[in-house]
Structure 1
């Protein structure tokens, strides 16, 4: 595991964000600020999530035990037109000879048929989760719903560090990031080892890539990716490797954070380097509510020649457009 002295991707102990020592919190905020103004990536330790081994075990078992028919029945509408209500939640299929990566995505467990954004208006981006058969995959739903809320709670604390880093009150994000309406999602992504791997793309610098250069469509991305390092971040000197960690989460800002901070915190451009190895990538995409709207602002450290802050847009409007651009750029994942 990389040490805190790693100049590209520092490790930040976020335990003070769970306490009451304001000076200790401000120290964490300063480290977050420095990391976001550097490569845009940092690892967080002492985050309070104690089920990472269980997460890996549950996810591996899920992917190994799902039949092709189960995957198709659970697939999003892009793969199974019968599932017309599943645009985000569901299975993202591998395609033989074309695409090896596969994943399952689930959304806010509070989204039910009675949720006001679904019952009254059928608002875009809100879906009632469709889960695999409980009899065939006992405990999978229960574990993942609990994991979702654990990640929400930890991310809420992390956002308090970001608020302080951005010279705001500690609770600045609280009214925008709420358990009952967050659009946050979890993706359980599997990259398999295959002897006959489908063709992969080659970047301009000659690197083979599984997912091309992009910025995340989120407020923050909090990623658990143990054992196999395959992410690269764009730096002035070229693409640089990002280390993996088996006990830390990797954090970076998404496009909405860049928007509201007028690019003081940029959404780093990164890509997934091709590695033919069995591995998991398990992101929690931190998102606000559909109607949340934060007025963009400048930081006191902004360059004196910084452009005027852009107009405010709702998170829902931002995310709908950002999702489309990701598919256009990299194809349906």
Structure 2
């Protein structure tokens, strides 16, 4: 007799067009050559105005080790660990844990589980923790007796990927004809709201039917995560393995497959970027196909500080001026009168709340 999982499995689907996702060598962004950095910036600009995604290669991070450590974390985690780490959405004793912590699977309803951890600088004596500023939380970790190396690895990885994000933002700044530190001046080690999420998609037999969404499109694609834009400035994603599951929406509304590459970071803009650039760099709409296969998704959401605010400007006008050979100060361009500045904390708080309503499974 066929298993429930096999009955739920999607029938063979016709291949979708492949999205253009260039591989960009970002090594020059760590160096001193302005000319080489501008070449990288040009590639970032082209990708950001096409499908919105690119693969960053030569980033200097051991992604295989990240995958191995994450798999070990999940293998060693007990039910008691999960409950102790759970966010307030699952454990009513943890109402103070909104962002950071463990999101549990719910038998029969929700399959995906994840650990989100925040800036390791957020310790009990951090000023934002002392004043209970929203979005700032102290990380909790699994018991050291069972996972003695996990905390040290996780914190080290946070700083490694933040370094990659810092380099990428130098490239984005140059791509937008701004000074190199245009974004990074707002990305400070002591107060960035950036987060790492270690997400596990399990193989289950039977797989809970309520955990599978059906897309409202011509073929009824089964989904794990419905269409959305990321809530971030940019997102830097590691996807271990060779599972093709991510799709991006093209300019005509069609869904395009993003081919996997587990040696590189997949990068895109979050929804703060189009707000400040007047949609010049959109946040791509993307979704995750349901696959009943054990796999990981490990995003780093790059966020500024709570009180930081970048005034929206006409990035398209700045690009046109640069293309025409104008050499003035781009920062003096007229602000976008139809876009009000938004403090990053307010943006992130609302964006996460809205995203939770759309993607209860994520």
Report the TM range for the smaller structure's normalisation.
over 0.9
Structure 1 residues 117 and 317: CA distance shift in structure 2, 3 A = same
Deviation at 1:268, TM superposition (A): 0.6
Q: Does 1:135 align with 2:151?
A: no
How far apart, CA to CA, are the structure 1 residues paired with 2:197 and 2:359? 17
Please point out which of 28, 36, 43 is paired with 2:55: 43
Q: Runs ≥4 in structure 1, deviation > 4 angstroms?
A: 301-304, 306-309
Structure 2 counterpart of 1:56: 67
What CA deviation, in whole Å up to 9, does each residue of 1:10-53 have, x standing for no partner? 1100011111111111111010000000000000000111x212
> Which residue, 338, 343, 360 being the options, matches 1:314?
343
Q: CA–CA distance in 1 between the matches of 2:284 and 2:320?
A: 18
Aligned partners of 1:33, 1:323: CA distance in 2, in Å?
27
The CA deviation at 1:174 is 2.2
CA contact (8 A) 1:264 1:302 kept: no
1:292 corresponds, among 296, 303, 308, to 308
Q: 1:7 to 1:84 in 2, by over 3 A?
A: closer
Question: Which residue of the other structure, out of 84, 100, 108, is the alignment partner of 1:97?
Answer: 108
Q: Greater Rg, structure 1 or structure 2?
A: 2
Q: How large is the Cα RMSD of the aligned pairs?
A: 1.7
Contact 1:201 1:208 (C-alpha < 8 Å) held by counterparts: yes
Higher helix share: 2
> The residue matched to 1:147 in structure 2 has which SS?
helix
| CA-CA distance at 1:331 after TM superposition | 1.8
Measure the CA separation in 2 of the matches of 1:118 and 1:332.
Answer: 29
Q: What is the CA deviation profile of residues 223-282 of structure 1, one whole-angstrom value per residue up to 9, with x for unaligned ones?
A: 000221211001115111111112100000001111111111111100011011110000
Specify every segment of 5 or more residues in structure 2 that has no aligned partner in the other structure, as ranges. 1-17, 322-334
Retained in 2: the 8 A contact 1:262–1:309? no
* 2:249 maps to 1:234: yes
State the Cα distance separating 1:330 from its structure 2 match.
1.5
Partner Cα separation in structure 2 for residue 31 and residue 57 of structure 1 = 31
Q: Quick one: structure 1 residues 27 and 178, their matched pair in 2 at CA, closer, same or farther if it must change by over 3 Å?
A: same
Picking from 182, 189, 192, the partner of 2:199 is 189
For residues 213-292 of structure 1, the aligned pairs below 5 Å read 213-227=227-241, 228-235=243-250, 236-292=252-308
Confirm or deny: 8 A CA contact 1:252 1:268 kept in the other structure: yes
Instruction: Note if contact 1:297-1:309 (Cα within 8 Å) is conserved in structure 2.
Output: no
1:119-177, CA deviations, whole angstroms, 9 ceiling, x for partnerless residues? 1x210000000111111111000000000001111111110000000110011112211
Contact 2:24 2:54 in 1 (8 A): yes
Q: Distance in 2 between matches of 1:213 and 1:220?
A: 17
Q: Distance in 2 between matches of 1:237 and 1:74?
A: 40
Q: Is the 1:257–1:266 contact (alpha carbons within 8 Å) kept by the matching residues of 2? A: yes
Indicate the residue corresponding to 1:3 in structure 2: none
| Cα pair 1:109 1:145 within 8 Å, conserved | yes
What are structure 1's unaligned runs of at least 5 residues? 1-5
- CA–CA distance in 1 between the matches of 2:19 and 2:246? 16
Of 116, 126, 138, which residue of structure 1 is paired with 2:127? 116
